[in-house]
Amino acid sequence: MKPRATRILLLCLSLALASYAAFSLSPWPAALLIRFAFDYDAARTTAALAVHVPAGIREQRDIAYGSAAEERLDIYLPQGGAQPRKPTIVWIHGGGFVAGDRQDVAPYLKVLAGRGYAAVAVGYTRAPEAHYPGPVLQANAALGFLQREGVRLGLDPQRIILAGDSTGAHVAAQLAAGLTGPDYAALIGLKPAIEPASLKGTVLFCGLFDPTALDLTGPVGTFIRAALFGYFGTANPLDSERITQAAIPRYVTEAFPPSFISVGNGDPLAPQSVTMAQALRDRGVRVDALFFPPEHEPTLEHGYQFDLDSSPGREALERLTTFLNRLGP
């Protein structure tokens, strides 16, 4: 081999080894790439949703519920205030545990506020800055703040709906399982900030619910492994003892609140929602599930519900509204 070709080959090998080391020894390179991708997608989604946001929504932004920089929440209210007896929707954003922002769900929450609900977007510290179960504990603290200050802020703190999309659905579901299951709360180190009776339901879109059941091979698996590396702090997340605690379907009880669960038929995480819905039904929990058959056209990808220009996105919004309106006092 010629000297120049040898140098090029060695350079390529060095870069390949450096990349492997960077991605396997630290969660940061992958986390930054995931954040870039999520930010790009969120910008497109936000722009598309903007035309569906009704006029007159009242906003209270950047309210501190804790001392950390990320412990902030935003509140969206109808022009005349939240309608009586309608629950307060507390939404936890997704982003693979390492990305996303509470601003990403702002347009969708404004749409819900336009239907008479108080809607709250909760911020939390993302991985790798924070590890499991940090976001769950922060969301719990946000609920405690809302219970103390909710009336002053114009919402009903005694009628809470925990909602989330993607990994935000995982955080919401895990918190709901802890609030309604004392044994599980003790297992994950959760001290419930509200009484179980205040939690009236959950809304879970396109969620990840059992990381132990994930296939971590192939392109999608590589992405998921990188996200779990950041969240659980180990390059081999399935070897972590704590990841079993995060397998929510194993720990839900009959006290889990009524739930609306939906996912697109082309979402790689679709089996996770099916498993979660079945686990709740097996325990006698009321579940309103919106799933789509494999042959449904168009194929619905992850986060389909945010596309209100599509008929499935609008259907999800109508089904969600019906579910919320049917919840008892």
Give me the CATH code for the 16-326 domain, please: 3.40.50.1820
Judged against a pLDDT cut of 50, whether residue 233 lies above it is answered with yes
Residue 329: pLDDT band with limits 50, 70, 90: low
Report the range of poorest mean pLDDT among 14-23, 126-135, 266-275: 14-23
Residues 6+ apart with CB under 8 A from 119: 75, 76, 77, 88, 89, 91, 109, 110, 112, 113
Question: Quick one: pLDDT at residue 219?
Answer: 86
State whether the Cα torsion 325-328-144-305 is positive or negative. negative
Q: What's the longest Cα–Cα distance across the chain? A: 80
Tens digit of pLDDT for each residue in 284-318? 999 999 999 999 999 999 999 999 999 999 999 99
Radius of gyration for the alpha carbons in the chain, expressed in angstroms and rounded: 20
Give the N- to C-terminal CA distance of the chain in Å, as an integer.
78
Tens digit of pLDDT for each residue in 49-79? 999 999 999 999 999 999 999 999 999 999 9
pTM exceeds cut of 0.75:
yes
Residue 101: pLDDT band with limits 50, 70, 90: very high
Work out the average pLDDT over 20-39: 82
Return the amino acid letter for 46: T
Question: Quick one: pLDDT at residue 3?
Answer: 45
